Amino acid sequence: MELYIDTANIDEIRNAADLGVLDGVTTNPSLIAREGVDFHSRMAEICDIVSGPVSAEVVSVEHDGMISEADELLKIASNIVIKLPCTVDGLKACKTLSDRGVKVNMTLCFQPLQAMMVAKAGAFLVSPFLGRIDDIGGDGMELIQQIRTIYDNYGYTTKILSASIRHPLHLVQCALVGSDVATVPYKVISQMMKHPLTDSGLAAFLADWNK
């Protein structure tokens, strides 16, 4: 399973990249706003650090505006992926861009038919938000499983990017059901190599060595 970081914080991206296992980055306008920086400049900084896919989201809600924004974002770097919402206009823009060979990440996916439609439109990634479904009493992992089954049934090549990851257990579950990618906050990445038995075992080894 590929691992992306979901942030616009440069220090977090550098720290994650230093681990040697970071495959890409996802951002959104809210994450950029928290940093208090120019959107295009920050995207360029991120692309200088990470060579894998970097998702940059449009804010237009209609097709022509999405395409116009996408054209500007694509000038930033060759690894920019255009992030569009799972709406009717987003679907149309996905088709327009994918027909041009542009990689598209279809975000805010909350049901399997959205995922099927964007795959048919040529999306590179689809981003089901499993944590937000869990937040309202649903089962976000069931959505990932449904999309996996549909894509496998028909040979769709769109990658499932599990988003809105809340904790390490979400990552374990995503890996078990076959999510292609997971995008996570830095806090979760920092938890992935931690286990109390690892810490206590290492402490015991060092104590014995010092004797």
The set of catalytic residues is: 83
Beta strand 80-85 with 54-57: parallel, antiparallel or unpaired? Answer: parallel
Question: CB under 8 Å to 24, separation ≥6 — which residues?
Answer: 2, 4, 5, 50, 52, 53, 54, 55, 81, 181, 183
Residues 74, 92: Cα–Cα separation, whole Å: 18
Residues 167, 165: Cα–Cα separation, whole Å: 6
Q: CA dihedral defined by 97, 101, 103, 105, rounded to 10 degrees?
A: 40
Task: Provide the 8-state DSSP code for 164.
Answer: S
Residues 194, 168: Cα–Cα separation, whole Å: 10
Beta strand 181-184 with 159-162: parallel, antiparallel or unpaired? Answer: parallel
* Number of neighbouring beta carbons within 10 Å of residue 32: 21
Q: How far is CA 79 from the centre of its chain?
A: 14
